[in-house]
Amino acid sequence: RQHFKEKATRLSRHWYDVVMLYLSDIGKTAISSQDILLSVVAHKRVFFNAPYANYERCLEGKFNLIPTGDQFEQLKMDYQNMTNSDMFYGNFLSFDDIILHIKSLSEILNK
């Protein structure tokens, strides 16, 4: 089970950013590279090693960025608060679309 390190204030922006990278040309290239995945996991282990992160799961086909229960609701509420406060300009994705893209990304990375 995932746990947020802190209260989910402006935390949903990270999910939005991951999706924007995933949808970009460079993101599409990056997700097809096993070498990049290994490099990212090694970097995270050295500089951001947290016991709750379970980086090795990314290498075992068990990548998951979607929290469950209360944490999912916190993330959803945080995103709504950010959109209501004009954190995003112009057109931006709905929270449901972000989750759909994260699921798609997870499926690709877990192959």
pLDDT in tens, 9-59: 788 999 999 999 999 999 989 988 889 989 999 999 999 888 778 888 888
Q: What is the pLDDT of residue 4?
A: 58
Instruction: Say how far apart CA 110 and CA 63 lie, in whole Å.
Output: 6
| C-alpha–C-alpha distance, residues 94 and 98, integer Å | 6
Is 3's pLDDT higher than 80? Answer: no
At residue 104, does pLDDT exceed 70?
yes
Q: Classify the C-alpha dihedral 25-27-28-32 as positive or negative.
A: positive
Q: At what angle do helices 12-23 and 95-109 cross, to 10 degrees?
A: 60
